Structure 1
Amino acid sequence: MCGVVRLPVRVKVAGRPGCGRRTVTRVLRGAGVVIAGPSELADLDIYVLAEAPKPEDRRALAQPPRPVVAVLNKADLAGFGGEGPLAAAAARCRRLRDLTGVPFYPLAGLAAVAAVDDTVVDDELVGALRVLTTDPADVGSTDRFTATAHRLSQATRQRLLTQLDLFGIAHGVLALREGADRAGLVAALRRASAVDGLLAGIDAAAAPVRYQRLTTANAAESDQQVDARMAAAIEVVRAAGMTVDDGVTTAAHLRRAITWQRYSRGPVSPLHRCCGADIVRGSLRLWERAGGVAEPLE
């Protein structure tokens, strides 16, 4: 298969100053997302906000040069009522998605960095959090956490704030109280940060990029090429919220071909029409390989 298909999807991180672009970039890089360099073309934009969209944010999201995913960073500051700040941030993201048409995902940036960067959660940090499990500090505010007398040095508490903030400290202490080891602590911070939801959203937004790259690279002649194009097309339609039958029987392959042939003939976008055609082609090829036999029309 042509080498261009194997190239990773590259993203560009954008947003107004102060929104946490560097933190989000560090999170994405640590999670294996490829960040486009200054002179490289990006396939996907990651637009970062830390509060309600300003007019310049709305303009950027209204006319993006590429597919875009928006990040509501500092989601741990979204309020502590109800089910907690991440739930409040997720609800805000849904409203922003409805308002802008752009997918929004919450992120607690510092907790996410700690979850994906192996250098953050070291023995010193784990030890400090373990002290807090039996000797709690004043977490009413960042100032009180560092200024109030405590057996942990002020420098150690400042490091905890710098690398985890109060939100990450609270989740880390809770995980250790429940018996977590270092790996369990990192896993707890990962869950609390909502980073996996963001990564899934980026992967879904990148599905059309991968599909279009694949369709440009080959004409879908061999079984392997047909299968690859069908798999990429399925990613695209699933990312759009549709269901594709995973059945492997002869009847399932034929049923899937009929379903997506009807879909591709409907009022759909050119991209989804092509995806439907590739799902039909792949399903029929699988149907033939599974022993399906075309019957003459009467």
Structure 2
Amino acid sequence: MSGVSAQVVRVGIAGRRGCGRATVTRVLRGAGVAVVGSAEPADLDVYVVAETLKPEDRRALAHSPRPVVVALNKADLAGFGGQGPVATAAAHCRRLSDFTGVPVYPLAGLAAVAALDDTVVDDEVLDALRALTTDPADLGSTDRFIDKAHQLPHPIRLRLLAQLDLFGIAHGVLALRAGADRAGLLAALRRASAVDGLLAGIDAAAAPVRYRWLIDAHAVALPASDDAVAARMAAAIEVVRAAGMAVDDDVTAAAHLRRAIVWQRYSRGPVSRLHRCCGADIARGSLRLWERAGGVAESLP
């Protein structure tokens, strides 16, 4: 069991050129995701797109040999108005997900890099953003930000654009005006980037991978120890929750028995082999917990 629990889900990065694969790689590595190179084996893929899915993107997703999550990069360019560009991109992602059956998440890549890479928001960038809180610059376009006269030297404005873009600059200035320190600034950029939604999506897509590792570890016989049963139950719960189902996590004896009955019945229904195994493992683990709480084992109805 220790070998299985120590395994790390390896993530590959795919997508067309120019969509920001290098940026997304940097973001995910900064967040602690085990991103592998194109020649290395991966357990799931993050497929990077910009603006929308093109026909070649849809073909690649349809024929993916692994679980796949789509990152709609450059979400900060999705158009202003309403609740902002990332909210607009998120709504677009939901439509794309409904159309393809693949989870799609927005990402403002440069803002996410700035939030997760300690080398981006250094003293020079922080001082420049602070200067903009008292002497605002024209953020209406990149040309106006660069060309209009301002106290910030031209090279520093170019650096701000290259590392934060107008979206990150605007959110950084707003955070500092509200009294944020450096940590608060990074937190604001992280929220604005929507990276946590993508990370949660990757974790959900990885749940079946982790569960199958446990299944393979117990291929010869069902797990017997309490720890092994609990591990498989926990991994199975991750899978079904990632699929949008609720699992009662009450710890009373009655709840354990009720959960066992519900998921044993689920496992016997018209579900996939994966979910059939998950239902059985949740039922088995719940029964083990019920027995430890003083219940007497008996056949489920």
TM (norm. structure 2) is 0.96
Change (3 A) 1:296 1:127: closer
Unmatched runs of 5 consecutive residues or more in structure 2? none
1:257 partner amino acid? A
CA distance in 2, matches of 1:111, 1:133: 18
Separation in 2, partners of 1:203, 1:256 = 24
Other-structure match for 1:17: 17
What does residue range 168-207 of structure 1 map to in structure 2 within 5 Å? 168-207=168-207
1:287 aligned residue: 290
Q: Which residue matches 1:240?
A: 243
Secondary structure, in 3 states, of the residue corresponding to 2:248? coil
Partner SS for 2:71:
strand
Match of 1:253 in 2: 256
How far off its partner does 1:37 sit? 2.9
After alignment, is 227-236 or 54-63 more displaced? Answer: 54-63
Pair 154,230 (structure 1): closer, same or farther in 2 beyond 3 Å: same
* Residue 123 (1) aligns with residue 126 (2): no
Percent identical residues: 78
CA distance 1:296–1:193, change in 2 (3 Å): closer
Deviations 1:68-100 (A, max 9, x none): 000100000001011110110000000000110
Task: Give the equivalent residue in structure 2 for 1:231.
Answer: 234
- Give the 3 Å change call, closer, same or farther, for CA 169–265 of structure 1 in structure 2: same
1:14-53 equivalences in 2 (<5 Å): 14-53=14-53
1:271 alignment counterpart: 274
What is the CA deviation profile of residues 226-250 of structure 1, one whole-angstrom value per residue up to 9, with x for unaligned ones? 0000000000000000000001111
What corresponds to 1:216 in structure 2?
A: 216
Q: Which residue of 2 aligns with 1:76?
A: 76
Aligned-partner SS, 2:70: strand
| TM-aligned CA deviation for residue 294 of structure 1 | 4.0
Match of 1:262 among 261, 265, 270: 265
The 1:85/1:137 distance shift into structure 2, 3 A limit, reads same
Q: Contact 2:11 / 2:46 at 8 angstroms: preserved in 1?
A: yes
Secondary structure, in 3 states, of the residue corresponding to 2:24?
helix
Q: Superposition RMSD on alpha carbons, in Å?
A: 1.3
Does the residue aligned with 1:72 lie in a helix, a strand or coil? strand
How far 1:61 moved relative to its partner?
A: 1.1
2: distance between equivalents of 1:222 and 1:202?
Answer: 30
Give how far 1:2 is off.
4.7
Counterpart in the other structure of 1:167: 167
Please give the alpha-carbon distance, in whole angstroms, between the structure 2 residues aligned to 1:114 and 1:229. Answer: 37
| 1:10/1:43 contact within 8 Å kept | yes
1:254–1:158: structure 2 CA closer, same or farther, 3 Å change rule?
Answer: same
- Structure 2 CA distance, aligned partners of 1:57 and 1:225? 40
Partner of 1:132: 132
Check the 8 A contact 1:5/1:217 in 2, yes or no. Answer: no
Task: Describe the shift of the 1:45–1:77 C-alpha distance in structure 2 as closer, same or farther (beyond 3 A).
Answer: same
Contact 2:287–2:297, Cα closer than 8 Å, also in 1: no
Structure 2 Cα separation of the partners of residues 134 and 2 of structure 1: 55
**Would you say the 8 A contact 1:234–1:244 is kept in 2?**
yes
Query: Does the CA contact (< 8 Å) of 1:2 and 1:217 recur in 2?
Result: no
**Which residue of the partner structure matches residue 156 of structure 2?**
156
Q: Contact 2:12–2:38 at 8 Å: present in 1 too?
A: no
Compared CA separation, residues 220 and 181, structure 1 to 2 (3 A)? same
